[in-house]
Structure 1
Amino acid sequence: MSPSNGARRAAVAAAIATIASTGAARPALAEPDAKIVERAQGYKQPALDFLKRMVDQDSGSGDEAGLVKVADLAIAELTALGAKVETQAPAEGGKGKNVIATLEGSGGAKILMMAHLDTVFREGDAAKRPFRIDGARAYGPGVMDDKGGIAIGTYALKILKNLDFKGFGRITLLLNSSEEIGSPGARKLIEEQAKAHDLVLNLEPGRAADGLVISRKGSGKAIVTVKGKSSHAGVAPEKGRNAATELAHQTLQVGKLGDKEKGTTVNVTVLKAGTAANIIPEDAEATADVRVAVTEEFDRVERDLKTAAETKLVPETVVTTRLERNFPPMAKNPATDGLAEKAQAIYGELGKKLTLESSGGAADASIAAGVGTPTIDGLGVVGGEIHTPTEYAEVESVVPRLYLLTRLVMEVGAGK
């Protein structure tokens, strides 16, 4: 990043943080912008039609063909609105293609919006459970996570183009094809783009209570492996060194490594041991999910894992541990608080109120925040039952969320 870019980003972050400390974004409710409301209402059905086309196409994280097809659907929409669209092959571990769409403005803040193309669902799920609207809710694989976010981001850009609003330096919409598996195919790209922009608006789903996410825990995996010695379980069990028994002991120790006061959780989730009922197992392995609110807790858990491994129950077994770090924490900070205050004031123009929430789940917002760029999350469509066959999006959240994202971009883009 050039010094001028760094200075500009610091100035933007400081201005946003000032809002949280002074309460500048909390005056009496203003009237909504009628032009934006009108356009958001007019784009509601086209946005839902676009969402239907995406939902009806499988795009699980490992589905190469499906991911490409959904990316192409997004590219067609973004190209039609006049964005410069580029694609990037994902790094190792990703499938499909990442999409980078850019609109250049006349000056002001550089804004990165992010969403993801992949879902947790399997090939064939879209055919089994195609997009449908039942009452006030839309259903289908990935309807809220995160195809609803792509629709909101794309149609907010359409509103800005329709209004001929250019009061920003640059807006980039980044669509990642591997978020649901930890973004291995886009992590470097996200970091580069976040560093090149002044703030990040992540389009993960809005919470069921109509909320934004202002902080997230970091995620990782603790792996404990035990090497023992096999023998016949009935004839000569004493000659063996039972790796499963030692792993059970280690599992109990690992389960105590969380810290409630610091928001750290360590939960053993996968156990593997043994090949046959009549053989003392020689090998065993446990995997634990690790979530931390502050980066330092990753270091502490890593140290304590090694210390715990030194206390063994079964002699002559070898215990090894490692900690694999995935997403860093997205910590609450003054700049994020300032963005939340802006968003709250804008939503208030519609007579609505946002809940401001923290999440134990990780997302690409954590990667962006990890390089120091002010980031706020949960700006996509509102919904619930995430990652389940009954995942849904609230149809009536489309217009308010289009309004919120459009107005937020206009405010922060112009440096207000």
Structure 2
Amino acid sequence: MPLPRNRLSRLAVATLAASVALALPAQAEPNATVLKQAETYKQPVLTLLEKLVSIDSGTADAKGVDAVAEVVKAELSALGAKVETVPSSVPDKGANVVATLSGSGNARILLVAHMDTVFPAGEVAKRPFKIEGGRATGPGVMDDKGGIVLALYALHALRDLGYTNYRTITLLLNSNEETGSAGSHELISAQARQHDVVFNLEPGRPTDGLVIARKGAAQLQVDVKGRGAHAGVAPDSGRNAATELAHQVLAIGSLGDRAKETTVNVTTLKAGTVVNVIPDAATAQGDMRAYVSEEFDRVERDLSGLAKTTHVPDTSVTTKLTRTFPPMPRNAGTDGLAAKAQAIYAEIGRKLTLESSGGAADSSFTAAAGTPTIDGLGIVGGGIHSKDEYAEVESIVPRLYLLTRLIMETGGAN
């Protein structure tokens, strides 16, 4: 039966997990050499992770992102990789890094991670890297600096093992993922088309899982034009843009669709500059997520329809929906990678869960390019995008084993 291209419901995820588990071969013995390498690298992983987390690198902090890139480029050069810096295609963003290793096998493997975080400059001073109770904390510790470090040490392990049974391994480090990858999505898509498989190093799920489907994302904006007036002397001569915006915001709240798991949320509001003037302009921005592209078309139409009806006379409303990440649907390529990853994890007595996510990521671009993609291969953790973000220290060895073995199992494939 052909695989559905529509949304991946929770039931579908559970069904897929069960079906993949049933299809797995009997548990194999672990690759003792790879496991030993992973265990040996646990402390070096933590040392490099601390170094990267100790650099503020919010998306808007181009200097900080570039400082992370310099550390990573030095590591890659020491591994013998050909390292290229690719400027962002939008201004005021850090540069992207593309590093390539060449081998003697067949498969072209693309590893993807990102150097930027959601945190502003100064956050590292407030919350420096620390390890407590088996958890490492600090800005970006798992999203996605943990992913960067795992990728680097998987390459270290392959080098130390003398493993070159791959055609190429490319590591692409994005500088602006957290704001939609506007300065890098064309680079990511182009690289994906030149590779046979993509492993995205976004954080591992808290249940020790991988991501096999993601919602797409869009940003909405509603602008209202009214007429300013003195709020005390002549309020009736004004046309209150804030009041009209309030009506629009309430209507926008109905645009989501629970059955399709489509969410539409207004997240920022702006109106007026002083308290004694009727505001002549107001703006709302919001976030939309959906599993299927058709929902973005539908919400865009509905937004435009709402704007045609105003509640405050003589005001006007304009709307815009800007798509950022396409959906990453379930497909046969991802299912195959998930089965392979589960079999590898079973070698060390561990079980991978398979999940869908409302969060968007660069894996959506690589999947849309037609390249089999699997996501969530980074360090396991939680508290993403918050001061409570953490990475599980004990997940380093099994996750490093998983990534290294996954590259090895894929590298020589025809």
TM norm structure 2: 0.92
Partner in structure 1 of residue 234 of structure 2: 236
In 1, the alpha carbon distance for the partners of 2:126 and 2:309 equals: 51
Paired letter, 1:353: K
Q: What secondary structure, in the 3-state scheme, does the structure 2 residue paired with 1:175 have?
A: strand
Q: Deviations over 1:193-229 (max 9, x none)?
A: 0111111100011011111111111111111111112
- CA deviations on 1:165-193 (whole Å, 9 max, x unpaired) are 22222110011111112222211111110
Residue in structure 1 matched with residue 152 of structure 2 by the alignment: 154
Q: Give the stretch that moved more between structures: 77-86 or 273-282.
A: 273-282
SS of aligned partner of 2:211: strand
8 Å contact kept, 1:206–1:382 = yes
Distance 1:68 1:361 in 2: 25
Paired residue type of 1:415: A
Q: Unaligned stretches of 5+ in structure 1? A: 1-19
How big is each residue's C-alpha offset from its partner over 1:99-123, in whole Å with a ceiling of 9 and x where there is no partner?
1111112132211101111112222
Partner of 2:351: 353
Q: Secondary structure at the match of 2:120?
A: coil
1:326 counterpart SS class: strand
Following the alignment from structure 2 to structure 1, what is the Cα–Cα distance between the partners of residues 235 and 120?
44
What residue in structure 2 maps to residue 5 of structure 1?
Answer: none
Look up the match of 1:56.
Answer: 54
CA contact (8 A) 1:258 1:266 kept: yes
Question: What's the TM-score once normalised by structure 1's chain length?
Answer: 0.91
Q: How far apart are residue 96 of structure 1 and its match?
A: 2.5
1:230 deviation in Å? 2.0
Question: Structure 1 407/359 Cα, relative in aligned 2: closer, same or farther at 3 Å?
Answer: same
Q: Aligned letter for 1:165?
A: Y
Please state how far the C-alpha of 1:50 moved relative to its aligned partner.
Answer: 1.2
Secondary structure of 1:150's partner?
helix
**AA of the residue aligned to 2:103:** G
Q: How does 1:270-289 map to 2 (within 5 A)?
A: 270-289=268-287
Is this contact kept in 1: 2:304–2:319, CA < 8 A? yes
Query: In 2, are the aligned partners of 1:113 and 1:174 still within 8 Å (CA)?
Result: yes
Q: Which amino acid aligns with 1:338?
A: G
After TM superposition, where is structure 1 displaced by more than 6 Å over at least 4 residues in a row? 20-24
Q: In 2, Cα distance between the equivalents of 1:388 and 1:371?
A: 31
Query: In the TM superposition, what are the counterparts of 1:34-183 in structure 2 within 5 Å?
Result: 34-183=32-181
Label 1:275 to 1:50 Cα distance change in 2 as closer, same or farther (>3 A): closer
Aligned to 2:374: 376
Q: Deviations over 1:366-397 (max 9, x none)?
A: 12112221111110111111222232111111
Q: State whether residues 21 and 334 of structure 1, in contact with CA within 8 Å, keep that contact through their aligned partners in structure 2.
A: no
Q: Which moved more, 1:54-63 or 1:355-364?
A: 54-63
Q: Can you list the C-alpha shifts for 1:65-103, whole angstroms capped at 9, x where unaligned?
A: 222221111111111122111111222145232111111
Matched, 1:192 2:190: yes
- SS across alignment from 2:116: coil
Name whichever of 22-31 and 214-223 sits farther off. Answer: 22-31
Q: Which residue of 2 is the match for residue 6 of structure 1?
A: none
Provide the C-alpha distance between the structure 1 equivalents of 2:260 and 2:167, rounded to a whole number of angstroms.
Answer: 39
Contact (CA 8 Å) 2:212, 2:338: kept in 1 or not? yes
Determine what percentage of the aligned residue pairs are the same residue.
Answer: 62
| RMSD (Å) for aligned C-alpha atoms | 1.9
Separation in structure 2 between the aligned mates of residue 282 and residue 24 of structure 1, nearest angstrom: 62
C-alpha distance after superposition, 1:299-340 (max 9, x if no partner): 111111111111221222111111111111111112111111
Equivalents in 2 of 1:164, 1:360: separation in Å? 39
State the Cα distance separating 1:24 from its structure 2 match.
Answer: 8.9
Alignment partner of 2:141: what SS? coil
- Rounded Cα–Cα distance in structure 2 between residues aligned with 1:76 and 1:34: 29
Name the SS of the counterpart of 1:73 in structure 2: helix
Are the equivalent residues in 2 in contact too, given 1:94–1:186 (CA < 8 A)?
A: no
- The worse-fitting range, judged by mean Cα deviation, of 136-145 and 87-96 is 87-96
Q: Which residue of 2 aligns with 1:400?
A: 398
**Number of residue pairs aligned between Structure 1 and Structure 2:** 398
State which of 312, 320, 323 in structure 2 corresponds to 1:322.
320
SS state of the match for residue 82, structure 1? Answer: coil
* 1:60 counterpart SS class: coil
